[in-house]
Structure 1
Amino acid sequence: MKFDRYLSFGSTLLALALSMPTAAGASEFLLVDVNGSAQIRRSGQSQYQPARGGMRLNTGDLVQTAGGAQVRIRCSDLTTTWTMNSNLERGVVWGCPPDGGFSLRVGRQSDNTLGGIDPSIPYVTTPRRTFISNSQPIIRWNPVAGASRYTVQVLGDDVNWETEVSGTQVQYPGTPALTPGVEYRVIVEADNGASSQLDVGAETATFERLYPEDLEIVETDIAQIREQEFPEETEALSIADIYIREDLLAAAIDTLEPFVASGTETLEVYQVLGDIYRYVGLNLLAEERYERSIEIATAIEDIQGLADARSGLAEVKAMLDQPEAAIKLLTQAQSGYETLNDTERIEELQKRIDDLT
């Protein structure tokens, strides 16, 4: 069924991932937790950097432990975890299954989606460029100044539903039922005449329901993650990866945003959300999350994280027609990758700078 649903979605949502610097075809690993002193050296870089729980790793990265340290690494199959003891240096793939990993993507320049940039429009925030897991999704949109009521429609081949509300969210009642394999669109119109259809990203702001057999796989994999007793935020990042693998981007957002509301200082939470928001066409939200990523990465002196966040924010600035700001951020990111001797990323960003010049 998954093959069919990808065809129906126009192949716009492929197998996804969450790391701006991840090369095409790379796999996603996650540093679950670190007990003691450990460092990582990323593929293509010559400098080690301190390891911490929540860091994303890729094929070719090395982990080094010392002095009784122990780390856990979640493999690229998104469910298997292996433990690395002290005084060792291993590649992240060392304790993982030989195959079965996922090559994921989201956050690259090619995934930029313009949208969610005009506060005067009630643009849809969820569900937007995503699959959903049930037939009663919560629909949310951007609040419009001066509007007191909104008309909301859900439209598809087998659905023509409409309601009027005073808030900025409503739950679809489940009838008519949403059919897997059918593309649906939400239209929101404020009582001042502003419509979500005026959003420059309105054409991509659609959703589909996940097939039941795919949802069973998701639930099984999430249960396996929960059984391994990860730290709370690392568990959330792992579960978000599983949602992203199945294009359940709204669920991934709902998994991570509560940590933002509680004031988390975990860099990867903001970076992942920035990447997702940029992909689905919610660029003002992406801008906010990347900016917080930059603040945190600066505070903890995470050179890689800072360069990644600046790269992501640069893409948002480019879409917001701010090329000078984008070039400045890309140049700053280049400086970070130069410190890490990451020549591949330096060259990639130079090409992007040339495109914007």
Structure 2
Amino acid sequence: MLTISSLTKKVFPVRRFTTFVSISTLILLVTSSAWGQQRILLHNLCDEPSGRVYSTGDRFLRSGRYLCLGERINPQNGSAVKVLCFLNRKILYFQQNTVFNTQICAPPPNEAVQCSVLNIVSCPHDYKGPDDEKNAPIVTSPYGSSIINNRPQISWHSVAGADSYTVVVKGNGVEWKADVKNTTSLPYPQEQKELQYGNTYTITVISNHGDQPLNYSPLVVHLLSLDDVQHISDQVKQIKDLGLPPDEAAFRDLDAIYMSKLLLDESIKTLIARVVAGSQNPTLYRLLGDRYLGALLPEEAEQTYTIAAQLALSSSNTSELSKVKSGLKLVKWLKDR
């Protein structure tokens, strides 16, 4: 296991003028409004972007550009503007002039507690407290209960006193087991049949001492349907085709797409890849901590939050530091359950 850690829409009031407004003046007003929208991102007037444009159908907004709440979307005649809302993780299409606001792009009502320590029911698997974890090889990968990889890497926490482990995978059309020594990770065996899309499987890791089993830890995972997997793959390809900065793509766009299906496994592994690449972005580490909490792995979350806090402090990022502190409070709450 890797230890890491409005634009205010410019409304020109409709009034009765005693003089004509020339066509050139109207063009200037429209152009100024568009430039005002562009200045939002150029001058960081938006504290945190809420979406991104994913098409070329807007008259002013280029593909790949961030969107802030309050900005106007201006589709060209006959065109639809494709937008990814980071807050509700939805792909939206606009064919009419629309203000991108909280009615359109807002987190679901239960977003604050979805798949977190505040709502254990929605999380991937049952959390075991410190006493229950003793001698239990908690499965750490795949992360979460929804996956798209039909040959997932299987990992678990080591157990004191165990000298071997037995991995058992069972489900529709698949049943195999493997004995493992001197490691807490097992690549999916190439000789075994892969998991089938749209089916549910149980991955169980048993800790052993000699011939005696010590304890076990099961994880139930559901493989998305082939249609869902293809849809996710198409969205990921479009993100990569935009050529975004890698950290930005990982913690905003890719995370939004993966978490739209609660794919903690894909999100966590994407964020870890950026950590391995040397990222020093506090937002990326903080989000990784959030996702570890979603997978009910408080130790990993705490390690990552600690690094995020250090990076936020060194860069004077008070917003991220506040979010990290909230995450650490949740870690403590989970450990004290």
**Which TM-score band applies after superposition, normalised by the shorter structure?**
0.5 to 0.7
1:313 to 315, 318, 328: 328
Post-superposition CA distance 1:231-284 (Å, at most 9, x none)? 121122222322222222211111111222344211122122111111121111
Q: 2 CA distance for matches of 1:76 and 1:313?
A: 35
CA 1:245 to 1:74, structure 2 compared with 1: closer, same or farther past 3 Å? same
Post-superposition CA distance 1:190-238 (Å, at most 9, x none)? 22344343xxxx5xx3211111111111111111111111112112222
2:118 to 110, 124, 130: 110
RMSD: 3.3
**Which position in structure 1 is the counterpart of 2:215?**
195
The alignment partner of 1:38 has SS state of coil
Are the equivalent residues in 1 in contact too, given 2:135–2:207 (CA < 8 A)?
Answer: no
Superposition pairs of residues 1-357 of structure 1, within 5 angstroms: 37-41=43-47, 57-58=49-50, 74=52, 81-82=64-65, 91=69, 93-95=71-73, 97=81, 101=85, 102=90, 103=107, 105=111, 106=114, 108=116, 110-112=118-120, 114-115=127-128, 118=133, 120-166=135-181, 167-173=183-189, 175-192=192-209, 193-197=213-217, 205-237=219-251, 238-321=253-336
Are the equivalent residues in 1 in contact too, given 2:289–2:327 (CA < 8 A)?
Answer: yes
Letter in 2 for 1:214: D
Post-superposition CA distance 1:84-105 (Å, at most 9, x none)? 8xxxxx6365348587742464
The alignment partner of 2:240 has SS state of helix
Letter in 1 for 2:189: P
Larger RCO (alpha carbons 8 Å, 6+ apart): 1
Q: 1 CA distance for matches of 2:278 and 2:83?
A: 37
The alignment partner of 2:46 has SS state of strand
Gapped regions of structure 2 (runs ≥ 5): 1-39, 56-62, 75-80, 91-106
For residue 171 of structure 1, report the CA deviation from its aligned partner: 2.5
Letter in 2 for 1:127: P
Gapped regions of structure 1 (runs ≥ 5): 1-33, 42-55, 59-72, 85-89, 323-357
When normalised by structure 1's length, the TM-score is 0.60
Letter in 2 for 1:233: D
Higher Cα radius of gyration: 2
Q: 2 CA distance for matches of 1:314 and 1:185?
A: 32
Are the equivalent residues in 2 in contact too, given 1:187–1:195 (CA < 8 A)?
Answer: no
Q: 1 CA distance for matches of 2:84 and 2:245?
A: 25
Q: 2 CA distance for matches of 1:107 and 1:267?
A: 22
Q: 1 CA distance for matches of 2:326 and 2:297?
A: 17
Q: 1 CA distance for matches of 2:230 and 2:250?
A: 19
For residue 189 of structure 1, report the CA deviation from its aligned partner: 1.5
**Which position in structure 2 is the counterpart of 1:70?**
none
For residue 188 of structure 1, report the CA deviation from its aligned partner: 0.9
Count of residue correspondences: 249
When normalised by structure 2's length, the TM-score is 0.64
CA 1:268 to 1:99, structure 2 compared with 1: closer, same or farther past 3 Å? closer
Are the equivalent residues in 2 in contact too, given 1:153–1:186 (CA < 8 A)?
Answer: yes
For residue 320 of structure 1, report the CA deviation from its aligned partner: 0.7
Are the equivalent residues in 1 in contact too, given 2:305–2:327 (CA < 8 A)?
Answer: yes
